[in-house]
């Protein structure tokens, strides 16, 4: 029985896995716990890279030099360029360019292209999107069918609303744009260079460069009567 039948391991038998790991160690790849790392024969890993426990490299992966991969990563048919860090994450047919950081708990789906020197953080999903140099999506965001420009910032809870129920549409976020927390960008839409989208906004129209866009209800504050307060206090008792 191959290891897939007994768990989520590589299809390679134990002898083949051992040979692959010894070959990687001989060329200068660092594997602190070899018994807990699974590398397919088709995968390539350059010298100086560290593969930590729970790392799976499936299919023709290419890992550059001086990367830090793991712990606990599933990387399939993907390319990770030199000097990058990927930890506690899943990559499927994705590319991570030089000096980028992915994780923890990120999911790069097919045709995600990140970096160089970009950051994809906690619970961020990227699909069919190009994330340019220095851009950041730190946490809790979905970036799908999009172009994100250099040094752009994607706030927590941001969603590119790419599907209208029938077709997929693209979102363009230009260089230096700042997308505030819990904003929804309804594609097709373009956010201009150095533009700011206010937190909690739903954006359906293009935003010009160096503009501030707000798409949310106006806050209303009303003074409460003493009678209302006294009634609530009595109920608490």
What's the pLDDT score for residue 16? 83
Q: Which residues pair with 196 in a beta bridge?
A: 178, 212
What's the pLDDT score for residue 37? 95
* Host domain of residue 155: 140-216
Are residues 106 and 155 located together in one domain of the fold? Answer: no
Are residues 1 and 108 located together in one domain of the fold? Answer: yes
Are residues 104 and 144 located together in one domain of the fold? Answer: no
Are residues 197 and 147 located together in one domain of the fold? Answer: yes
CA distances from 219 to 96, 181, 184, 224, 229 (A): 41, 17, 19, 16, 21
Query: What's the rounded Cα separation, in Å, for the pair 86 and 80?
Result: 9
Query: What's the rounded Cα separation, in Å, for the pair 186 and 125?
Result: 17
Quick one: tokens of 11? Answer: 């299809």
Are residues 22 and 77 located together in one domain of the fold? Answer: yes
Q: Establish if 237 belongs to a structural domain.
A: no
Query: What's the rounded Cα separation, in Å, for the pair 52 and 39?
Result: 12
Tell me if residue 107 is catalytic. Answer: no
CA 99, 132, 169, 123: dihedral to nearest 10 degrees?
40
Please state the domain count of the chain: 2
In this prediction the pTM is 0.88
What's the pLDDT score for residue 232? 66
What's the pLDDT score for residue 15? 83
Mean pLDDT per segment of 10 residues, for the chain of length 237 residues? 42 78 95 94 97 97 98 98 98 98 98 98 98 98 98 98 96 98 98 98 98 92 79 65
Buried b (16+ CB within 10 A) or exposed e, 105-126: ebbbbeebbbbbbbbbbbebbb
The residue annotated as part of the active site, out of 9, 107, 139, 169, is 139
């Amino acid at each position: 029985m191959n290891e897939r039948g007994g768990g989520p391991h590589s299809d390679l038998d134990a002898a083949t896995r051992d040979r692959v790991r010894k070959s990687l160690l001989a060329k200068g790849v660092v594997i602190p716990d070899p018994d807990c790392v699974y590398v397919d024969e088709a995968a390539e890993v350059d010298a100086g890279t560290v593969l930590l426990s729970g790392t799976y490299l499936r299919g023709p992966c290419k890992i550059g030099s001086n990367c830090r991969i793991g712990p606990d990563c599933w990387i399939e048919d993907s390319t990770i360029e030199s000097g990058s860090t990927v930890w506690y994450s899943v990559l499927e047919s994705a590319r991570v360019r030089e000096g980028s950081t992915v994780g923890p708990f990120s999911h790069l789906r097919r045709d995600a292209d990140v970096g160089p020197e970009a950051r994809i953080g906690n619970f961020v999903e990227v699909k069919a999107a190009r994330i340019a140099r220095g851009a950041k999506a730190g946490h809790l965001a979905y970036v799908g069918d999009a172009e994100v420009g250099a040094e752009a910032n994607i706030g927590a809870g941001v969603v590119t609303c790419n599907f209208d129920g029938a077709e997929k549409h693209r979102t363009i976020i230009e260089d230096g744009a700042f997308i505030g927390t819990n904003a929804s960008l309804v594609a097709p839409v373009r956010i201009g260079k150095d533009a700011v989208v206010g937190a909690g906004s739903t954006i359906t129209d293009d935003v010009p460069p160096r503009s501030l866009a707000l798409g949310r209800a106006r806050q209303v504050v009303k003074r409460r009567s003493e009678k209302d307060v006294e009634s609530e206090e009595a109920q608490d008792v």
